[in-house]
Amino acid sequence: MRAPRGEIRGEVAGRAFGLPAIREPSTMAKPKTQYTCTECGGQTPKWQGQCPHCGAWNTLVETVAAPAATRFAGIASSRSSVTPLASVIPRATSRVATTLEEFDRVLGGGVVPGGVILLGGDPGIGKSTLLLQAGAALGERHRTLYVTGEESTEQVALRATRLGLVNAPIELLAEVQLEAIVSAIDATSPEVVVIDSIQTVYTEALASAPGSVAQVRECAAQLTRLAKQRGVVVVFVGHVTKEGAIAGPRVLEHIVDTVLYFEGDPHSSFRLVRAIKNRFGAANELGVFAMTERGLKGVTNPSALFLSQHAEGVPGSAVVATLEGSRPLLVEVQALVDPAAGGMPRRLAVGLDPQRLALLLAVLHRHGGVDTSGVDVFVNAVGGVRIAEPAADLAVTLAIYSSFNNSILPGKSLVFGEVGLAGEIRPVQRGQERLREAAKLGFSRALIPAANRPRHAIDGIDVTAITRIDEALGFVQN
């Protein structure tokens, strides 16, 4: 019986070099691959331009599928039983404060035992610095384990020395293997665990590379299950893509309890921590920090960062009271209207919705008689803050009108209100809190929707209530 061709080749090669004959296998086992969506985590055996699960385009990446029998089973899941809702007695959730007031504000008062937090941000923005400071504060009362996958323990110690935390009661672990991390948690029984970062952690149960969709999803799921079973606070540091979204599968943001984004201009010392999702507190809460040589310091009066520094009123400037979570925040909105050099006039919005800007220009033309079709319009929210709520509509409109007519708003005046397509001024939520914040900062006038007129006068501030956009234009002084 003839031997397979591959075995004959192996025998001939062995004799040619005076070595024992080596029989090559005729076939090599090829690992099975599949394609996983980076948005929803859905899997498909073949590559497609569009994900069949969520419909996103160009989001399928190749991953190595592991056999079902080899999947990680180190953490045994407890069996669940069906329980009537009426028989469940909810326990009061006790929060643990980090003593960093701005960070606790974003979290809703502190970390929750068993909670999982995901902190994302650009490289070098200060994520590791913030968590090292928070870990040092928590370590005074709760055992804290800092798992570093990107730096050595010596590098973390150098940062701690620079921040004045060299004697902080934190335990360090330089490890990226999930099984080793779980073993260290079993051995030390910490109450707070920081994973820096989740993209560097991998499990041997999967053959794909660290940072792949499958690895990030599996490791995050196992650590989340551990946090829920043992009541351990787990904090993930997440990388971001060039678009600013957290890298990895979109399901990563769904399985955690809190998603925080660390924002800031690299040319500025101020940093913003924004809560995008929070199961234990208010979403869209904002914390403001200043980066110093000794680390991040909370800013107690963030409105002062975003207000005008002009000695007198200037054209194209208006101050709006926006709401960031539970905090009223006063921000200066600047507009510049300039004759177009030729071609299509430009519309540019920084910190504001560009589509909302186009809508306001149309309303200003139709109901205010201001034609901006032949001019460039640039709008900017001072300080790098992003304003998403429609309460800034009236301030943006008046800033554009002020720059267009080279006029100014009255000094120390505040503006807020939503502008409708019919030219009406709609009310916004929590108007009195916005007015009190303005009065506390020395503002003496306010232009607000009629439905937001306070029942009782607020000391130090004169309120003007309006219902139409043409009434608001009369507020601007020539």
User: pLDDT tens track of the chain, all 478 residues?
Assistant: 444 444 444 444 444 444 444 444 444 455 577 888 877 778 888 888 998 988 889 888 877 665 554 444 444 445 668 989 998 887 766 889 998 999 999 998 999 999 999 999 888 889 999 999 999 999 999 999 999 999 999 999 999 999 999 899 999 999 999 999 999 999 999 999 999 989 999 998 887 788 888 888 889 999 999 999 999 999 999 988 776 677 666 778 889 999 999 887 767 788 889 899 999 888 878 888 999 888 999 987 787 777 766 656 789 999 999 988 778 889 999 999 999 887 889 999 999 999 999 999 999 999 999 999 999 999 999 877 888 899 999 999 999 999 999 999 988 899 999 999 999 999 999 899 999 989 988 899 999 999 999 988 888 899 999 999 999 998 886 5
How far from each other are the two terminal CA atoms of the chain, in whole angstroms? Answer: 104
CA atoms within 13 A on the CB side of 1: 3
Q: Under 8 Å CB-to-CB from 44, ≥6 apart: which residues?
A: 34, 35, 37, 51, 52, 53, 60
Domains of the chain (ranges; CATH) run: 5-63 (no CATH), 99-300 (3.40.50.300), 306-473 (3.30.230.10)
User: Residue 80 — φ and ψ, nearest 5°?
Assistant: -105, 150
**Does this model's pTM top 0.75?**
no
Token match 């209207």: residue? 337
E-strand ranges in 340-400 read 347-350, 375-381
User: Residue 118 — φ and ψ, nearest 5°?
Assistant: -115, 120
The length of the chain is: 478
CB-CB neighbours of 246 under 10 Å: 23
Instruction: Please tell me the distance from the alpha carbon of residue 302 to that of residue 289, in angstroms, as a whole number.
Output: 9
Stated as kind and residue range, the H or E segment containing 35 is strand 33-37
Instruction: Please tell me the distance from the alpha carbon of residue 382 to that of residue 387, in angstroms, as a whole number.
Output: 10
Burial 297-317 (b: 16+ CB within 10 A, else e): eebeebbebbbbeeeebebbb
- Classify 410 in phi/psi space as left (phi over 0), alpha (psi -120 to 50) or beta: beta
Pair 438, 414: CB distance under 8 Å: yes
